[in-house]
Amino acid sequence: MVKLLLVGLIVGCWLILGTQANEYLDFNVTEIDRIEELEFGLSKYSSNLNPLLVGLTLIRGADSGAVCLDGTLPGYHLHRGHGSGANSWLIQLEGGGWCNNVRTCAAQLQFRGERIWRAAIDDLKANGMRYADQALLSGCSAGGLAAILRCDEFRDLFPGSTKVKCLSDAGLFLDTADVSGGRTIRNLYNGIVEFQSVKNNLPRICTNHLDPTSCFFPENLISQMKTPLFIVNAAYDTWQIQSSIAPKSADPSGFWHDCRLNHEKCTSGQMRFLQSFRDQMLRVVKGFSMSRQNGLFINSCFAHCQTERQDTWFADDSPVISKKAVAIAVGDWYFDRAEVKLVDCPYPCDKSCHNMVFR
C-alpha cells in the first residue's frame, strides 16, 4: 500500500480548509514538545525502533497561491507501494493544532490550506493516484478532523469502482463545556472560522442548516456523510482534557492542574466530570454507529492519536477492545471482513491502555 504523509505541508495541510495551524491553545512550548514527542512516536515505547525515512516532495508546479504559512512551497512524503499494493493509496494528514486570532497566528502569514489541498491532490493524481483501486483518507488530531471534513469530497475524486473509505483518529472534538462552564473549544473554533474565513470550505450538508462554527464539530457531520468512516478515539482524550475541558484559562486556581497532567491524580469529583465527557462522546456516535458502513473503536484510555504510534497501532501489547487491536479492527472494517463497533467499558477497567502522563 502506498503510504503518503502530508507532513511536508506542515501547517498548510493539517486542516486543508483554508485554515492552518501553529500552536496548541493554552500550552507552553515545553508542553507542546512533550505532546509531539508522545503523539508522533518518540515515546519510551518506540525508542528502539528504526523509523522509515521518506524524502520530501515539493509541489513545484503548484499555483502561486498554494503556499505554507511562511510563504514556502508545500509538499508531501510519498512512499510508493509495489506488487499488489501498487494501486492502493493511504493519504495521511498529520495533526498539529490551530491559531484563531492575530496574537496566536502572528502577522504576515498565509492561510492557503484550501489551495494546498487542491495542488497536492492534483500532483498525486498525476503521480498515479488516479489509478487507485483502493484509497483510504486518514488523519490524526487536527488531521483527523480534516479527514472527516474532506471525506466525501475525497470520495468524489475517484470512480465508483474504487474502494474509498476514511479514518479519523483523535479527531472527534466535542462541543462541550469546560470546567468553569465556559465554551473554550467553541470559542476557539469560532475564532478559526471567522478569522480564517473557513465558512465556504465546510461541508454544505451541514452549513445548509447550521452555523459554520457548529459545522467545525464532527458531531454535526458524521451521521450525514455518504462515505464509510471509521472513528478511533480515546474516551478520555488527553488533548481535549488539557485544551478544551480543563485549560488553564478555565482553571485559574489550578485545581485541575495535577489531574490534567496525570489521570491518577484526579479526585473522585474530577473523574465524574471526565466520565460525563465519555458519556457525551458515546451519545455523539450513537446514530453514526447504527450504519453498517461505519466503524468505531472507542477505548477508555487517556491518549491522543493511537494510529500513528506503532505501540498503540499494532504491537504485542497494543491497546485492545474485546482482544482486538486498533490495526486489526481497522483492517476488518476496511476490507469488509466484519462489522466493527467496539466501545470500551468505563475507566479504569481497561488494563491494556498506554496512558499518557505529562510532567
CA-CA distance, 15 to 146, in Å (whole number)? 5
Residue whose cell numbers read 504491537:
315
Beta strands 163-169 and 320-321 are unpaired
- CB of 319 within 8 A of CB of 352? yes
Nearest to 232 by CA among 155, 311, 320: 320
User: Which residue is catalytic, options 141, 168, 244, 289?
Assistant: 141
- CA gap 178, 85 in Å, rounded: 45
Beta partners for 165? 136
- Phi, psi of 151, deg, nearest 5: -60, -55
- Nearest-10 Cα torsion for 277, 305, 189, 193: -150
Instruction: Report the Cα 275 to chain-centroid distance in Å.
Output: 22
Please, is 260 exposed, middle or buried when counting C-beta atoms within 10 Å of its C-beta (0-12, 13-18, 19+)?
buried
| Cα dihedral across residues 174, 148, 18, 27: positive or negative | positive
Q: How many CB atoms lie within 10 A of CB 226?
A: 11
Q: Which of the residues 152, 168, 169, 304 is marked catalytic?
A: 304
237 is annotated as an active-site residue: yes
Provide the H-helix boundaries in 29-160: 29-39, 102-105, 113-126, 142-155
Catalytic one among 152, 169, 175, 237? 237
Take residue 107 and report the three cell numbers written for it: 502577522
Q: Tell me whether residue 223 is one of the annotated catalytic residues.
A: no
As a whole number of angstroms, the distance between CA 333 and CA 292 comes to 10
**DSSP track, 211-245:** -TTGGGSGGGTTTT-SS-EEEEEETT-HHHIIIII
For residue 324, the cross-strand partners are 321
φ/ψ of 248, rounded to 5, equals -60, -35
- Are residues 237 and 306 in contact, defined by beta-carbon separation less than 8 angstroms? no
Catalytic status, residue 257: no
Q: Which residues are catalytic?
A: 141, 237, 304
